[in-house]
Amino acid sequence: MFEHLSVSAVYVVDKTAIKMKSTIQVLITALFFITSQTACSQQVKKMKLNPLTPAEQAVILHKSTERPFTGEYENNWTKGTYVCKQCDAPLYRSESKFDAHCGWPSFDDEIKGAVKRVPDADGQRTEIICTNCGAHLGHVFLNEGFTAKNTRYCVNSISMKFIPDKVMNTANKNEEVAFFASGCFWGTQYYLMKAPGVISTTVGYMGGHTKNPTYKEVCTGETGHVETTEVVFDKTKTTYEDLVKLYYETHDFTQVGGQGPDIGSQYQSVIFYTSPLQKEIAEKYVGILTAKGYKVATILRPAPEFWKAEDYHQAYYEKKNGTPYCHIYRKIF
């Protein structure tokens, strides 16, 4: 076909073929990139993600920053694991957390492979995102000298959830732990320990800023703790929902700053939730009670460390063969 073409004509044909080959290679590369990006995007869409509030969306999706010294976990020193708010992937261990006095939770290490570093849009800082789902976490800073690892992951509390070790390490998968505060813990324990499916109950203190407080210290109202009952229950015999119902049916959840004659912050009505599901159920019943016309004063908080109370407080009414003075059962649900 080409035997009658001149040398210059053959050169032009060869040059055109080379250009076409180069163009095809570029198109194939671009197609591969688009396909891989689409696949990655589809994988994130297929991933089961937790619903986010507008405030959570602002930080996790749109990369805003929560105000310093306002985050839920800035002063949390309980042992446990911090997980991604959007996908529940484990991110940091409590052992890596330190106080950088910056107003946000700080960690000097991540759970291996859990956090990805990317250049920030400002061109100066390094952003950190969840490797699993891409949620915005905050920024990482190096060589500041805070710890031996010379690394500070500065993370927005709102981008995370915290799961205490005791909850994560429940030996029997059929067992679950719950924490309820409804005034004097003698009365709270009295009803919860008798509920079907409850394995054990322990009274103690939660939510304060001092370690291992005594009853005398908590009674001053200055430690920030709340008298709380820890409940371990068998999920094959009862449900967290049943316990929440009983909790509300055995105290005045409309009273603010105390319970009955016991007045003070240590006697507040509080549910300390240990998982997103527990929080969801607690919120559900706040909604149900509100719809019934009650003004619910119960505070919902993530579970911090639980400090067991002195032995003489445990199963108090059983030892005394008595009944609560400020907890009375009344059917609501």
Buried b (16+ CB within 10 A) or exposed e, 267-286: bbbbbbbbbbebbebbeebb
- Which residue is catalytic, options 84, 130, 133, 184? 184
Give the span between the Cα atoms of 276 and 228, in whole angstroms: 20
- Which residue is catalytic, options 84, 130, 133, 154? 154
Q: What is the pLDDT of residue 325?
A: 86
* Residue 302 vs residues 17, 186, 280: alpha-carbon distances, Å: 67, 22, 12
CB 165 within 8 A of CB 146: no
DSSP helix/strand/coil, 181: strand
What residues pair up with 6 in beta bridges, in sequence order? none
Question: What does the pLDDT look like over 22-35, one tens digit per residue?
Answer: 555 545 544 544 44
For 170-320, CATH number out of 3.30.365.10, 3.30.1060.10, 1.10.357.10, 3.40.50.720 equals 3.30.1060.10
Q: Is 63 left (phi over 0), alpha (psi -120 to 50) or beta?
A: left
Q: What is the pLDDT of residue 78?
A: 80
Question: What does the pLDDT look like over 174-220, one tens digit per residue?
Answer: 889 999 999 999 999 999 999 999 999 999 999 888 888 999 999 99
**DSSP states of 23-41:** HHHHHHHHHHHHHHHHHHH
- Residue 92: partners with Cβ closer than 8 Å, 6 or more residues away: 81, 82, 107, 109, 110, 111, 114, 153, 155, 160
Q: What is the pLDDT of residue 302?
A: 87
Q: What is the pLDDT of residue 13?
A: 44
Q: Do domains 54-164 and 170-320 have the same CATH topology?
A: no
CB 188 within 8 A of CB 182: yes
**DSSP states of 276-320:** HHHHHHHHHHHHHHHHTT-----EEEE----EEPPGGGTTHHHHH
Q: What is the pLDDT of residue 24?
A: 54
Classify residue 103 by its DSSP letter.
S
CB 66 within 8 A of CB 157: yes
Q: What is the pLDDT of residue 260?
A: 87
* Residue 46 vs residues 39, 284, 295: alpha-carbon distances, Å: 10, 27, 40
Tell me, yes or no, if 130 is annotated catalytic. Answer: no
Residue ranges per structural domain of the chain: 54-164, 170-320
* Residue 279 vs residues 201, 240, 282: alpha-carbon distances, Å: 20, 10, 5
Q: What is the pLDDT of residue 33?
A: 44
CATH topology of domain 54-164: 2.170.150
pLDDT, one tens digit for every residue, the chain (333 residues): 444 444 444 444 455 544 555 555 545 544 544 444 444 444 444 567 888 999 999 999 999 999 999 998 988 888 888 999 999 889 999 899 999 999 999 999 999 999 999 999 999 999 999 999 999 999 999 999 999 999 999 999 999 998 877 665 555 678 899 999 999 999 999 999 999 999 999 999 998 888 889 999 999 999 999 999 999 999 999 999 999 999 999 999 999 999 988 999 999 999 999 888 999 999 999 999 999 999 999 999 988 888 999 999 999 988 888 898 889 899 999
